[in-house]
Structure 1
Amino acid sequence: MASPTFHAPATTVRVAATGLSARAHTARTLPVFVLSALLATGQMYTPIPLFSAMRAEWSAGSAAMTWIISAFAFGYAGGFVLFGPLSDRFGHRRVLLTGMLVAAVVTLLTGLAFDVPVAIGLRIAQGLVVGSIPPAIMAYVATRIEPAHRAVVTMSVATSFLAATVIAQIVSQTVAAAFPWRTVFLGSAVLFAALAFALRAVMLDDAPTGADKPLRHSYAAIPAILRIRPLLPMLAAGALSMAVMVGVYTGIELTGLVKGSSELLTLRAGALPVMVALPLLAVPLSRLSLHGQIMLGVVIAAAAMVVATFEGAHLAVLTVLLAVLVGGLGTIAPAVLQSAGRFGGESRAAATSVAMFSFYVGATAGPIVASAAAPHGFSVLAWTLALLLVAALVLTFVGIRLRRGVE
Structure 2
Amino acid sequence: MATPTLRSPALPSIRDLSARAHTGRTLPVFVLSALLATGQMYVPIPMFSAMRADWQVGSGVMTWIISAFAFGYAGGFVLFGPLSDRYGHRRVLCVGMVVAAVVTLLTGLAPAAPVAVALRVVQGLVVGSIPPAIMAYIATRIAPGHRAVVTMSVATSFLAATVIAQLVSQTVVESFPWRTVFLGSAVLFATLAAVLRVVMTGDAPAGRDKPLRHSYAAIPAVLRIGALLPMLAAGALSMAVMVGVYTGIEITGLVDGSGELLALRAGALPVMFALPLLAIPLSRLSRPAQMVLGVLVAAVAMVAATFEGAHPAVLAILLAVLVGGLGVIAPAVLQSAGELGGESRAAASSVAMFSFYVGATFGPIVAALAAPHGFAVLAWTLAALLLAALALTLFGARLLGARAEVAG
TM-score, normalised via structure 1 length: 0.97
Task: Name the SS for the 2:174 alignment partner.
Answer: helix
Q: Which residue of 2 aligns with 1:223?
A: 220
Aligned equivalents of 1:208, 1:258: Cα separation in 2: 50
Match of 2:53 in 1: 56
2:76 is equivalent to residue 73 of structure 1: no
397-406 or 210-219, larger mean C-alpha shift = 397-406
1:337 and 2:334 aligned: yes
Residue 157 (1) aligns with residue 154 (2): yes
User: 1:165, 1:208 → 2: CA distance?
Assistant: 32
**CA offsets, 1:237-289, max 9 Å, x none?**
00000000000000000000001100000000000000000000000000000
In structure 2, the residue corresponding to 1:178 is in which secondary structure?
Answer: coil
Secondary structure at the aligned position of 1:309 is classed as: helix
**What does residue range 204-223 of structure 1 map to in structure 2 within 5 Å?**
204-223=201-220
Q: In the TM superposition, what are the counterparts of 1:209-358 in structure 2 within 5 Å?
A: 209-358=206-355
Cross-structure match for 1:387: 384
Contact residue 21 and residue 200 of structure 2 kept, 8 A: yes
Q: Deviations over 1:373-396 (max 9, x none)?
A: 001100000000000000000001
**Displacement of 1:208 after TM fit?**
3.7
**1:405, distance to aligned residue in structure 2 (A):** 2.4
Alignment check: 8 A CA contact 1:7 1:342 kept: no
CA distance in 2, matches of 1:227, 1:393: 21
Kindly state the Cα deviation for residue 15 of structure 1 after the two structures are TM-superposed: 6.1
* SS of residue in 1 equivalent to 2:17: coil
Partner of 1:138: 135
Alpha-carbon offset, residue 212 of structure 1: 1.4
Q: Aligned residues, how many?
A: 401
1:343 to partner: Cα distance: 1.9
1:10 Cα offset (Å): 8.2
Q: Distance in 2 between matches of 1:6 and 1:318?
A: 44
Deviates most, 245-254 or 202-211: 202-211
Which residue of structure 2 lines up, in the alignment, with residue 45 of structure 1? 42
Matched, 1:25 2:61: no
Once the two structures are TM-superposed, the CA of residue 367 in structure 1 deviates from its matched residue by 0.1
**Would the alpha carbon gap of residues 16 and 126 (structure 1) be closer, same or farther in structure 2, given more than 3 Å must change?**
closer
Report the CA distance between 1:21 and its aligned residue.
1.2
Output the amino acid matched with 2:242.
M
The SS at the match of 2:285 is coil
Conserved 8 A contact 2:6-2:218: no
Deviations 1:303-347 (A, max 9, x none): 000000001110100000000000000000000000111122222
Give secondary structure in 1 for the equivalent of 2:237.
helix
What is the deviation of 1:350? 1.2
Partner of 1:204, secondary structure, is coil
Distance change (3 Å), C-alpha of 1:301 and 1:102:
same
The residue aligned with 1:115 is: 112
The 1-side partners of 2:82 and 2:15 are apart by: 18
Whole-Å separation in 1 of the counterparts to 2:205 and 2:378: 50
Contact 2:16–2:204 (Cα < 8 Å) also in 1? yes
**Larger deviation: 126-135 or 203-212?**
203-212
Distance 2:7 2:213 in 1: 21
Partner Cα distance (1:292, 1:206) in 2: 36
Which of 342, 356, 361 is residue 358 of structure 2 equivalent to? Answer: 361
Q: Secondary structure at the match of 1:277?
A: helix
Q: Percent identity?
A: 78
Counterparts of 1:40 and 1:17, CA distance in 2: 30
Q: Which runs of 5+ in 2 are unaligned?
A: none
State whether residues 18 and 207 of structure 1, in contact with CA within 8 Å, keep that contact through their aligned partners in structure 2: no
Opposite residue 137 of structure 2, the aligned amino acid is Y
CA distance in 2 between partners of 1:8 and 1:30 (Å): 30
Q: Is the 8 A contact 1:7 1:344 kept in 2?
A: no
TM-score normalised by length of structure 2: 0.97
Indicate which of 197, 200, 224 corresponds to 1:200. Answer: 197
Q: Partner of 2:256: helix, strand, or coil?
A: coil
Contact 1:88–1:347 (CA<8 Å) still a contact in 2? no
Which of 357, 377, 389 is 2:374 aligned to? 377
Q: CA deviation at 1:294?
A: 0.3
Q: Which runs of 5+ in 1 are unaligned?
A: none
What displacement does 1:16 show? Answer: 5.3
